[in-house]
């Protein structure tokens, strides 16, 4: 109840705080924006007023008769005109003034600058707005007035200009008027004027340029500021902006104050509500509190001797139920722990407890010697004397292990006839001594029912942290050492990297593949393909088999990926193509016309030398290109669809038959399939193995065959295991079939014998 009450209160408080915060922040932001806009208008009006004053003064000066006379004779007496300009400039409180003739050429000026900078279009500065001009890296507010020698003349005879330094327009008085710091910036890179110190203003400008929107926030001298930018005035190539800045704390003063008050109110409300909830819940739940405490202890595995009682009938009944529940849980825990962590036969800890103990020791950074022991010829004892004798023998072994005089020893039965022992934190017992002590328990024979059994064991050891600090890896290394004993008849072995034959064998296979091709360790086996319409064997699939002189048969799944990793797959493919065409020629000489199909990998497909090699082989064995089928998996085609498409097209143009292997298991789209220059689809055996019984497979096969027919492609079904599947494939229109129902892959000589004696289904005679 208390939790629900507090949760509801917390949700209400959070909702209230978020709602008020959002509304207040939005209102405060609107006020700040409105204040900034008003301030910008104040600054703009002040500058506009100054521009109007300047324009009025220029107009008055331009109508003065003596001024007109000086301008008319300005070319002959520029000194007098310049003096008049200077006097009037002071009265206008301007910083520059100049006169252009009616053609826009400079007559006289109070500015020390080149004439070309002052020869501007006067019409632009007559509109009465705010106009700017840049002269010698300074920015000026500029106004102009026409001078007409005859007032009724439609055309001005000269132009009178006045300019005020823009920096002087940004006065400290603006801070008092706007309650914001004001800066005028030009071209996004120059501080024209500012109420801030110049260093701070330039720092401000550099940060404003990095913010892509206005209003924005930035930091200046560890103070968070809000800034607003407004364009001001007009100019041809100039971009002047008014930047208004105010401290964020000041802008959101009312917002922060309100939030603080609201947080205080909510905190007080929460405290009062909590006190009320505690009082209410205690009054309701006090009779149950002690029982809740008891159940919590039981849930943590802490059992109590006596469950608290109560005079209330309902609580007393609940107390009795809890007491009975505790007894039941305790009994079941004991049973579960025994089953989960101990071996039922020997009473020793099992593999689960062994692994947990090993992890704890390593986590505690203990020095651990791990010993794994497997009984030799134990299967023979079980098979000869029965499992009962075997079980008794395991108990005797466990009893002898218990007599080992090794301190800090933990032992377990890992399963079957395998035992594990851990010796930890004992500097006097090294791995050799530990192994010899365990080996000594097998020096005396074991007697069971008057049967005396000599027993031996293979023992492997690994040391932490010397060999590994990973529990699983340490067990694996001990296993490797143990199995090395079985191969070399040693009584025990301590792990060494040389014993790890798994990585060594894999590395060996990677380096031996090329030599295996030269020494005829690899062979081609041939699986027939039956034409279902003609009931005739028309071809074979060539499958590579590796019979290693040391390791025996090595499955293609083991060495083909290695060949692809090392790049040896190209040599393997070239060897397979040559052997296939060579065998095809031999069969042709015997009267058998058979297509041969060779699998190629994704690396072969994009090999630029493959077409050239194929052409040379076809010419060498006088083979028809259409008698050679290249099978490539759908997944290989999708690895680089564009490159694969180009490679397929080159091979197609040579006249070879292209087949997509394992079709239906990859990811090719119908659009890609339509564009592929292939002749044949091989339906994956996953859809064919249970074709007679699986309706989904039947629908899939029928769909794939129909798809191939519409694309004018032939179909081959792999994995045919029975006559029913063969009949169904014939019914749906599949062209060819292969699988163990016809024949497993055979060496060339056995295949020839099979071919001579084979009678195709539904045919009376094989037309070979």
Give yes or no for residue 338 having a pLDDT over 50. Answer: yes
Q: Which residues contact 695 (CB under 8 A, 6 or more apart)?
A: none
pLDDT of 767: 38
Write the DSSP assignment of 367-435 as a string of letters.
Answer: -EEEEEEEETTHHHHHHHH-HHHHHHHHHHHHHHHTT---SSEEEEEEETTEEEEEEES-TTS-HHHHH
Considering 332-336, 550-554, 709-713, the range whose residues carry the highest mean pLDDT is: 709-713
For 594-618, the pLDDT digits (tens) are 999 999 887 887 777 888 999 999 9
Give yes or no for residue 765 having a pLDDT over 50. Answer: no
pLDDT of 375: 92
Distances (CA, A) of 626 to 23, 328, 652, 679: 80, 78, 10, 10
Region of residue 514 (left: phi > 0; alpha: psi -120 to 50; beta: else): alpha
Per cent of the chain over pLDDT 70 is: 83
pLDDT of 103: 85
Q: Starting at the edge strand that comes first in sequence, how are the strands of the sheet with 132-135 ordered?
A: 106-109, 96-101, 158-165, 138-147, 132-135
Q: Which residues contact 89 (CB under 8 A, 6 or more apart)?
A: 95, 96, 97, 110, 162
Give yes or no for residue 764 having a pLDDT over 50. Answer: no
For 700-723, the pLDDT digits (tens) are 999 999 999 998 999 999 999 999
Coil, strand, or helix at residue 243?
strand
Kindly tell me the sign of the dihedral angle through the C-alpha atoms of 701, 707, 709, 713: negative
Give yes or no for residue 24 having a pLDDT over 50. Answer: yes
For 263-301, the pLDDT digits (tens) are 777 778 777 777 776 765 655 566 566 666 767 766 666
pLDDT (average), residues 567-594 = 91
Q: Is the pTM of this model over 0.85?
A: no
Average pLDDT, the chain: 83
For 643-679, the pLDDT digits (tens) are 778 888 888 999 999 998 877 665 555 656 777 889 9
Burial of residue 209 (number of CB atoms within 10 Å: 0-12, 13-18, 19+): exposed
> DSSP letter at 308?
P
Q: How far apart are CA 664 and CA 671, in angstroms?
A: 15
Kindly tell me the sign of the dihedral angle through the C-alpha atoms of 279, 285, 290, 293: negative
pLDDT (average), residues 731-735 = 95
Write the DSSP assignment of 526-572 as a string of letters.
Answer: EEEEEETTTTEEEEEEEEEEEEETTTEEE-HHHHHHHHHHHTTHHHH
Read off the pLDDT band of 766 (50, 70, 90). Answer: very low
Reply yes or no: is the peptide bond before residue 313 cis, omega within 30 of 0.
Answer: no
Q: Which residues pair with 225 in a beta bridge?
A: 218, 247
Q: How far apart are CA 344 and CA 254, in angstroms?
A: 76
Dihedral of CA atoms 340, 341, 346, 348 in degrees, nearest 10, equals 180
Q: Read off φ and ψ for residue 152, nearest 5 degrees.
A: -80, 0
pLDDT of 216: 73
Strand 158-165 relative to strand 181-186: parallel, antiparallel, unpaired?
Answer: unpaired
Contact 186, 192 (CB under 8 A): yes
Q: How far apart are CA 152 and CA 137, in angstroms?
A: 39
Residue 679, CA atoms < 13 Å, CB-side half-sphere? 16
Residue 170, CA atoms < 13 Å, CB-side half-sphere? 25
Burial of residue 106 (number of CB atoms within 10 Å: 0-12, 13-18, 19+): buried
Residue 92, CA atoms < 13 Å, CB-side half-sphere? 33
Number of DSSP helices (H) and strands (E) in the chain, helices first: 26, 26
Considering 205-219, 229-243, 500-514, the range whose residues carry the highest mean pLDDT is: 229-243
């Amino acid at each position: 109840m208390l939790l629900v009450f507090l949760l509801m209160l917390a949700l209400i408080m959070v909702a209230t705080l978020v709602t008020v915060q959002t509304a207040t922040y939005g209102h405060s932001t609107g006020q700040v924006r409105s204040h900034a806009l008003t301030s910008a208008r104040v600054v703009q009006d002040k500058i506009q007023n100054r521009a109007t004053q300047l324009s009025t003064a220029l107009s008055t000066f331009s109508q003065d008769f003596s001024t007109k006379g000086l301008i008319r004779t300005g070319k002959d007496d520029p000194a007098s005109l310049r003096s008049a300009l200077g006097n009037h400039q002071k009265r206008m409180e301007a910083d520059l003034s100049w006169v252009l003739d009616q053609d826009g050429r400079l007559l006289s000026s109070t500015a020390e600058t080149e004439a070309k900078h002052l020869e501007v279009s006067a019409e632009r500065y007559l509109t009465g707005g705010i106009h700017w001009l840049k002269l010698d890296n300074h920015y000026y507010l500029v106004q102009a007035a026409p001078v007409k020698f005859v007032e009724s003349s439609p055309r001005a005879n000269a132009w009178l200009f006045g300019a005020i330094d823009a920096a002087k327009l940004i006065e400290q008085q603006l801070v008092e008027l706007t309650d914001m710091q004001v800066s005028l910036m030009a071209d996004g890179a120059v501080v024209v004027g500012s109420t801030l110190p110049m260093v701070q203003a330039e720092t401000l400008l550099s940060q404003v340029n990095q913010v892509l929107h206005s209003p924005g926030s930035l930091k200046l001298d560890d103070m968070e500021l809000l800034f607003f930018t407004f364009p001001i005035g007009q100019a041809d190539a100039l971009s002047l902006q008014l930047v208004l800045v105010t401290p964020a704390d000041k802008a959101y003063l009312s917002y922060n104050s309100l939030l603080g008050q609201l947080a205080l109110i909510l905190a007080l409300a929460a405290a009062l509500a909590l006190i009320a909830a505690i009082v209410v819940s205690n009054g309701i739940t006090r009779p149950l509190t002690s029982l809740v405490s008891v159940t919590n202890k039981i849930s943590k595995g802490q059992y109590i001797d006596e469950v608290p009682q109560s005079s209330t009938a309902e609580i007393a009944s609940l107390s009795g139920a809890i007491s009975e529940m505790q007894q039941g849980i305790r009994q079941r825990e004991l049973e579960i722990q025994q089953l989960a962590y101990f071996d039922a036969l020997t009473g020793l800890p099992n593999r689960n407890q062994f692994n947990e103990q090993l992890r704890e020791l390593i986590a505690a950074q203990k020095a651990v010697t791990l010993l794994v022991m497997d009984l030799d010829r134990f299967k023979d004892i079980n098979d000869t004397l029965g499992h009962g004798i075997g079980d008794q023998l395991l108990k005797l072994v466990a009893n002898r292990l218990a007599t080992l005089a090794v301190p800090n020893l933990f032992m377990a039965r890992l399963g079957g006839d395998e035992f594990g022992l851990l010796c930890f934190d004992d500097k006097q017992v090294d791995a050799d001594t530990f192994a010899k002590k365990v080996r000594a328990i097998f020096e005396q024979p074991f007697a069971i029912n008057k049967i005396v059994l000599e027993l031996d064991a293979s023992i492997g050891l690994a040391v932490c942290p010397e060999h590994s600090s990973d529990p699983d890896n340490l067990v694996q290394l001990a296993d490797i050492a143990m199995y090395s004993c079985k191969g070399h008849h040693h009584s025990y072995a301590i792990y060494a990297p040389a014993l790890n034959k798994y990585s060594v064998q894999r590395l060996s296979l990677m380096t031996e593949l090329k030599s295996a091709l030269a020494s005829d360790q690899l062979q081609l086996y041939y699986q027939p393909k039956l034409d279902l319409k003609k009931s005739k064997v028309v071809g074979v699939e060539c499958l590579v088999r590796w019979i290693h002189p040391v390791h025996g048969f090595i499955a293609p799944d083991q060495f083909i990926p290695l060949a692809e990793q090392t790049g040896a797959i190209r040599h393997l493919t070239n060897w397979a193509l040559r052997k296939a065409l060579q065998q095809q020629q031999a069969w042709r000489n015997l009267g058998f016309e058979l297509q041969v199909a060779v699998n190629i990998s994704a690396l072969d497909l994009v090999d630029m030398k493959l077409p050239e090699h194929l052409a040379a082989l076809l010419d060498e064995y006088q083979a028809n290109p259409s008698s050679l089928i290249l099978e490539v998996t759908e997944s290989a085609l999708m690895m680089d669809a564009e490159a694969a498409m180009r490679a397929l097209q080159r091979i197609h143009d040579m006249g070879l038959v292209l087949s997509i292997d394992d079709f239906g298991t990859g990811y090719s789209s119908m659009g890609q399939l339509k564009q592929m220059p292939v002749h044949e689809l091989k339906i994956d055996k996953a859809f064919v193995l249970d074709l007679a019984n699986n309706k989904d497979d039947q629908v899939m096969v029928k769909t794939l065959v129909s798809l191939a027919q519409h694309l004018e492609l032939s179909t081959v079904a792999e994995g045919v295991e029975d006559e029913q599947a063969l009949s169904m494939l014939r019914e749906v229109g599949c062209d060819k079939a292969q699988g163990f129902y016809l024949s497993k892959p055979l060496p060339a000589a056995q295949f020839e014998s099979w071919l001579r004696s084979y009678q195709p289904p539904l045919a009376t005679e094989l037309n070979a």
